[in-house]
Structure 1
Amino acid sequence: MSGFGSHFQCRRGLCVFALLMGALAANAALASDVRFDAKHSARRADGGWQSAQAEEGHSAHHPGASGAGSDTLSQADGARGHAADVPSSGDATDMMGGMSEMMGRPRKEFYPLLMDMPALSAEQRKNLEFRARGWINGEVDRISESEMNLRHAIAAGDVVGADQVAGRIRDSLNGVQSGFTVLRSLNEGKSPQQIAQSWLKAQMNLPPQPAVVDTDGILGISWFHVTTMALLAIFSLGMLAIQVARMRRASALVDRLTRGPVPVSPASVPAIEIPGASGAGRHPDARAGVAPARQTAEVRSPEPSPHREPAKAGGLWKGKLRVSAIYRETPNIKTFRLQAPDGGSIPFSFLPGQFLTYAIEIDGRVVRRSYTIASSAAQTAFVETTIKREDGGLLSDYMHGNVKTGDLLEVMAPSGAFTFTGVEADSVVLIGGGVGITPLMAAIRYLSDIAWSGQIYLIYGAQTTEQFIFRDELEYLQRRMNNLHVAATMARASGTSWMGSEGRITADFLRRAVPDRVKRRVHLCGPPGMMEALKTILRELGVPSEQIRTEAFGPARGAVPPPTSIAAAAQTAESAAGGQAAVAIGPATATIRFATSGMVAALPPDRSVLEVAESIGVPIDYSCRAGICGICKTHLLEGRVTMEVQDALTEDDKSGGIILACQAKSVEDLVVEA
């Protein structure tokens, strides 16, 4: 279907281009016809005026010959018609004879006959020059003879005779002038029409005009029209090329989106044997066999760049991105747009709902924080993260106060399993609170870009209308997307222009906003307290737990698990291992050994594996520190741990001895692969 649309768009562009060029050609042809008609009318007017002038002068000398004027004019018209019928390749003798006949007629015949005469060949010009010289000599002889006759008439007092002789002298002078005009024009290489025009100006005593550049252009079209059409043609070709490029880019984008990521089949993941207390079978690369959920995203290998570091096998892309724009969404929330330093496409792909991790050095130490990508996954030119300035937030405060356009920031991306691409279900309910709307907005933007046909219900709660993030864009998208339904409520709306619901998101609010809730997939994101309350409400409304996906914003609750939780978890682990005797929980005398680095440290019960590793300089990658991203996954070789949050672990991870270093705590000795 996308190919048909691209083909139709391309053919439509070609049709528009053809119509435009046809209109231009018609305009040029019309302009050429107008020029031709104007020139032809001018020629006819000049010929008629010249004939009338000659006839008037002839009648003044011969008052009795007025009746013969029409016969003479008819003969002149006949001569013009005969001259127009002479072919350009005719016999030179006939042509010269016509020229001699022309010169022998009254001067009113000269102009129209030359205007109708075709172009002359080199041989014809040579013969014409010979005849013109002979004609000049003959006219000079007649002038000499008429001069003697004029002297005799004046001496005899014959006024009438003297007037007739003077008329013959004038005719002879005209003949001489005509001959010289022909010779001069032949020497200058002019056409018969230009010769006639030069002769006419000489007869009318017009001053010579400056040389005028021929504006006939190409094929009778003026240079102005030719230039205009050329510019329009170049512009049309440029627009057509842009349209074709846009169609090709859209087709490539649709193809990339429709292909989607290639998921890793659980059956293809080799089983990992949990080593015993002796550590037999331990392998430093055992963790590489685990397929975490985040690897379902298709990641492109970026081109080598001084600002990019290729991702390691099975890891995440790490490198630098440039801040190209900063937008203020609310008084304490900003959106940061990041692009590749060289201006190309971003060097990784991601799914809607995933996040990237910033690593910024602040006060001499590197601080890492994760923020959800709010832009559409269909957008390859940039990524955007929307960050709220938290009270006491080290990195968020730095981002708001210090980062500016043009800065290069170290990031790691993408991560996270809180994703929705439209293939997981045929409809979705997105519930968010505060800045927790960012992964939901990323999904809405992506579903809009791919024209997803399923029903989308966004349920959003904010403190005030001033804190309503993306409000204008949501109103715009709701007008464009018939399948997008937005229901928002403000906790405090008194004194504002808000006309919608007020208060928290309740069961009644969900009943009114979302029909057939039991059948729909639910994505829930927001503060931990809000999510716990809404999960309870959704279960009360009959939504199955397996249809609910959650992601918390903020640190995990409960920094130290209570002893009862540790005991229960330990007892459960013992039972699953084969019913061995439970181990009593003693004082904080446990140790942790990092097998890869060979370092050993004390493990207090209130500190996580990640915190202890950081204190002694053992490198373990991390991002959210809340048990959500899964970046800090570590292979537990010996011992048992408890984890308050383990959303990032799959069943395969749990059975394979994978733990989250940021959440793992214990009261017994541990050995981990780090």
Structure 2
Amino acid sequence: MNDKNGNPVRKSMSRRTWPTTYTALVLLFVATASTAIAQVSPEEHAAHHPGEANANDGGSGARGMGGPPEGAGPKNGMGGKGGGMMGGGMGAMMDGMMEKMGAPKPKDLYPSLMELPDLPMERRGELEQEAHGRMIAGTRLLSEGFDELSRSAAGDDFAAMQAATAKIREGLNDFESGLAAHRALSEGKAPRNVALQWFKRELNIDDAVNTASSNALLWGMSPFHTSLMAVLILFAAAMIWMYFFKMRRAASLLERLSTANASAGGGQAGSGGTGNGGANTQSTAPSTLPSDSRPSALDSQPVSDCCATDDGCPTEAPADGVDASGLIPVAKKKLCRLRVAKITDETDDVKTIRMVACHGGRIPFSYLPGQFLSFTLPVGEKPIRRSYTISSAPTQAYYCEVTVKREDKGAGSRYICDQLKVGDTLEVKAPSGRFTFTGEESDSVVLVAGGVGITPMMSVTRALTDMCWPGEIHFIVACRDPQHFIFESEIKRLDERYDNLHVHVAMSRIEKDLDGYRKGRLSKELLAEWVPDIATKRVHICGAPAMMEATKGMLAELEVPADNIHTENFGSTQKPKAKVAKGQEAHEPKATGAKVTFATSGKSTELLADETILEAAERIDVEIDYSCRVGTCGICVAKLLSGEVTMEVDDGLEPEDRQAGMILCCQAKAKQDVSVEA
């Protein structure tokens, strides 16, 4: 810039003048690069394009921009053999500069060029002229754009600067399009390589990727990708295997759960049984498991040891002859172990033992109200077997309870009341017994309990109230005094809560009526008073033998049909050998002349007067399993091979057992020679 006298004036650069300076530097860089552009003579141009020698006269100074020396253009895709317009260096710089300035990619004449080399000569000439026109027009736009950019930069006209750069981008786009067409025409074939170079430039793909396929191992993948795919395939295979393994375990667990929840209960369920019969006997029997192998706590009892057998606690065989509608279904069971969870003192000489499954889930069997369990207890040199009535309700599937009265001469009851402690485990045989009431047998029931005979009645009452059974329940209790009233507080609570439950209590050792309890023994008059229509009722009786016989006589006088009376027999209180010794002391006949042969053991003996097969077997040391000794549990069942026997009670036999010729050894007596499979 000059002063008024024409002399140059030097000014310092300010923030306002930096765009002008930056634009000047760009133009200087472009001008320097233009020295690499060769000149094309008019004659040479006319030789290629007749009639267009003066087409660019008066242009912007970019007329006749020629191509680089042969071989320079194809290296960067901007020129061709004999047909290029710009050198490789200028093309690379312009391409880079235009890309940084945001110029769009050139639009090539590919749709028409893809028909090469089958294009006729006339059409080839037209395409060549069109390509040349695009290059001329692009050069003109570039020149005009740079001029406008220079002027607008000097005047700080930013809008004009932006318009100039847009014109430069348009010119470069047209120039590259025409250049690509010239190259394709000069090669004389379809421009596949030109298209490939354009595609790689659009996606910024390096030429080095062309060599990747030479190192491919599988399906064009490199060693790294092949290894990665192999790892992924192995991982997927492992996950699929783990999925099927887990599904198999889940299926196995579901099968076990469905088996445990299937029909469950006593193997010999029916209308008669024994509650505490085994509690009063003192005989010994072999055990399935030795006493020294029994764990004493849950921690030492794994799930797999819950049962003594390997095939699980329950079997699939349903009980026969019992209608368990409305209750947990019943099925035969294997020998199982239960853990003692709680011990409750009911009275001074009666305790309730609550047992749970060793694995912590529901107990491995189900039962009906009034049934009993058979225990193998580690007493003495040989474990003994005893049966105790279940006092809990089958509606409580996660525990079961037995209530035991301590007898001074009862080895089993002394062990349970004196030695058993929480955490111990007990070997238990499946629930048995036919002295049951589920609510389906009648629309009302009278329960008469004497002493510890209250246990099955308590199970029935708990079950019926839990189910809100709508029938009338008359619960009659006979005991000595309030101190010997087992379950007193719970019975009172149930009586207050359920309107259909009527509790009546007679106490033989109180001097006057007390708190609703009637003094004196149970009598016919009390029965008629408490249950006016007792002749139409179903009656269950459980207690000492003398008490039950007296009650049955009263009921007969009250015209209760014998078919409506059901009793539970506690069994004999003497060991078979003790009975034999007593008979010998009384000088009873020592033998009847009938002989029993135990085929499996190879032993035989003459039967004594009124002697059972079981008693004869114990006398000569033949092992026969037993529990209740009153014909209800079915444990002493054996096959009769020859001869005939009589049995006073055969409740423990299933119909199929009778058809197969099975007998209950504790009940079987014979007056002729017999042979037993034992």
TM-score (norm 1): 0.49
Larger radius of gyration: 2
Q: Which has the higher contact order (CA 8 A, sep 6+)?
A: 2
TM-score (norm 2): 0.49
